[in-house]
Structure 1
Amino acid sequence: MLSCTMEPRFCETDALGHINNTVVPMWFETARGPIFEVFNPGQDLSKWNVILRKIDVDFIAQIYHGHSVEIRTRIGYVGSSSCVCEHEAWQRGELVAKGTAVMIYFDFAQQCKQEIPSALRAELEKLS
């Protein structure tokens, strides 16, 4: 499992005084950084090989400015050409949001998905 800490910024709050719902998917994407590194060491955009198929977020409790948020990320599933990242957001010991992201191993030159090579699959499975 991977973990990173986000510090909510004042500009991420909304009129109701909590973190806006558009922010959490960005935090989850930030938390996928080490997974992008597995797919593409050095994250060279000219060699990029992964696309996002789907994301979902369940908002469980309000998230507030002034308190750190821990994002926990793991690989929940590795298929033949895709993987599912599972995310949880925790603030002050409480689960406040969770979600998933489906990522596809992709050949941009051919514009099609590819089978995940066994070495890459093994690295992803270490993050489950």
Structure 2
Amino acid sequence: MREITANYKFKTPINIRFSDLDAFGHVNNAVYLTFFEIARTDYFKEIIQWNWDDTNLILGKSEISYLKPLKLGDQIFCYVRTSRIGNSSFDVDYVIVKMTETGEEQVCTTGQTVCIHYDYKTYKSVSIPENETRKMMEFEGFKPRF
């Protein structure tokens, strides 16, 4: 399991709420995007220190692979990383793990979103601000572009 999360430097806890469950007692498939959003927001806040006053993001694409179900009472965490940075978009990868009775992490879900820096006045994508790009690159260990 450690191989999957080895390249992730950020991990945040996620709380499962009763309202997250489907009729079978599992976390509903649509809720995983909310879990990704919570984790991504924590990453942006704690690591990138994203400037939300000047920066708008939209999701251009989301992918989820459901590997093991999650249930109420599971202690879960989400690993987050930026895996690609383009001019106006970047990819964010996720791994949701739950703690087993032996204290090990079990991979339950993986996913990826494409985030697009967006200008709502012109309805167009725009370049990612230099400060946010630099912080993502430094934290993730990307080589400088220039």
Provide TM-score, normalisation by structure 2: 0.76
Q: Cα deviation per residue 1:4-49 (whole Å; 9 max; x = unaligned)? A: 11121222222222111111110100111145444742x34xx442
Q: Is it true that 1:109 corresponds to 2:121 in the alignment?
A: yes
Matching residue within 32, 39, 49 for 2:40: 32
1:43-54 to structure 2, matched below 5 A, reads 43-44=52-53, 47-54=54-61
Q: Check 1:123–1:9 CA distance in 2 against 1; reply closer, same or farther (3 A cut).
A: same
Partner of 2:86: 79
Q: Check 1:25–1:127 CA distance in 2 against 1; reply closer, same or farther (3 A cut).
A: farther
Partner of 2:68: 61
Deviation at 1:51, TM superposition (A): 1.4
Task: Give the total of aligned pairs.
Answer: 125
Q: Cα deviation per residue 1:78-109 (whole Å; 9 max; x = unaligned)? A: 01111000001001211000100101112222
Provide TM-score, normalisation by structure 1: 0.86
Deviation at 1:2, TM superposition (A): 2.0
Partner of 1:2: 10
Q: Check 1:119–1:48 CA distance in 2 against 1; reply closer, same or farther (3 A cut).
A: closer
Give the residue type in structure 2 aligned to 1:24.
Y
* Structure 1 residue ranges without an equivalent (≥5): none
* Structure 2 residue ranges without an equivalent (≥5): 1-8, 100-104, 141-146
Partner of 2:19: 11
Asked if the contact 2:14–2:39 (Cα under 8 Å) also holds between the matched residues in 1, the reply is no
Q: CA RMSD in A?
A: 1.8
Deviation at 1:69, TM superposition (A): 0.8
Measure the CA separation in 1 of the matches of 2:11 and 2:139: 11
Identity %: 24
Measure the CA separation in 2 of the matches of 1:106 and 1:39: 18
Q: Is it true that 1:20 corresponds to 2:47 in the alignment?
A: no
Partner of 1:119: 131
Partner of 1:70: 77
Asked if the contact 1:88–1:95 (Cα under 8 Å) also holds between the matched residues in 2, the reply is yes
